[in-house]
Amino acid sequence: MTAQQSVAEKLGYPANTKLLIVHADDIGLAQSVNEATLTAFEKKGITSGSIMVPCPWFADFAEHYKAHPHLDVGIHLTLTAEWENYKWGGVLPATEISSLLDENGNFYASVEEVGQHSDPVEVEKEVRAQIDKAIAYGIHPTHIDTHMGSIMAKPELIQIYLKLGLEYKIPVFVPRMILMGMPEEAREQMNKDYVLVDNFFMMNTDDPGLSWAEAYAKMITKAIPGLNVMIVHVAHDNAEMQAISVNHPAFGSAWRARDLEYLLSQEFSELLKEQNIQLVTWKEIKEVM
């Protein structure tokens, strides 16, 4: 029996159930993102989300969360600032995390630069501070994951990521593929200590040959027995989000509005039923770990 089948059974489902977390990234990025995320939660378009603690609109969402503490919210560990003119640094003072910052005192724009420049000691201090700040603001994180995959930029950072999950006793977004190439003993330990994600999918390109619904349907129909995670990015297509995402159509303002529209559609709801997919949350998984 695999670890994920065990989770399905602990949640009260048959071992071969296709579990799906519909997860919204980037809470705290912008007011537009916060408002769209709350709408998606309210209308059950998503089951989970994660917050970017260093971003300007973190505190705004933390205030909303106080009135809705049932929401499934994790920490979107953030080490990059990818937008052209919209930037941020870390939670800690720049003097404590200088290897994570560019010449302007902001996080680097790419994962590759994080891998090249980051001091693992400073990374651990910063991501730990992000988790602690969220908790201090009253958020009860259901899991931790990683913005742009930056915490997986090099092996030393992956070890920090895994260690923090055990230390804080919360699930960590870890794809099962990470086991590839590991010795058998290490694979067994990972299966024992972590709830591994069997399959995850995310819109990566705006394929002109497919509608948004067709592209997502193509992914959703490939959900497999075990734990699947569908990563989405929502926002309202307004002046704020358009300014943030200037010259960045991928995951930009219009892109995120299309994600939101699809998640709230009857078509999405019906497709999940047709595929016999059971929606779950990281909070539920945390409770049975």
CATH of the domain at 154: 3.20.20.370
pLDDT tens, position by position, 235-275? 999 999 999 999 999 999 999 999 999 999 999 999 999 99
What would the mean pLDDT of 20-43 be, rounded to a whole number?
Answer: 98
Work out how many domains the chain is built from and give that number. Answer: 1
What is the value of pTM for the model shown? 0.95
Phi and psi dihedrals of 70, rounded to 5?
-75, -15
* Residue 156: strand, helix, or coil: helix
Residue 8 vs residues 154, 176, 227, 264, 275: alpha-carbon distances, Å: 31, 16, 8, 26, 16
DSSP character for 43?
A: T
| DSSP code at position 87 | -
When pLDDT is cut at 50, 70 and 90, the band that residue 217 belongs to is very high
Phi-psi region of 12 (alpha: psi -120 to 50; beta: other; left: phi over 0): left
What percent of the chain is modeled with pLDDT above 90? Answer: 85
- Residue 117 belongs to what domain range? 3-288
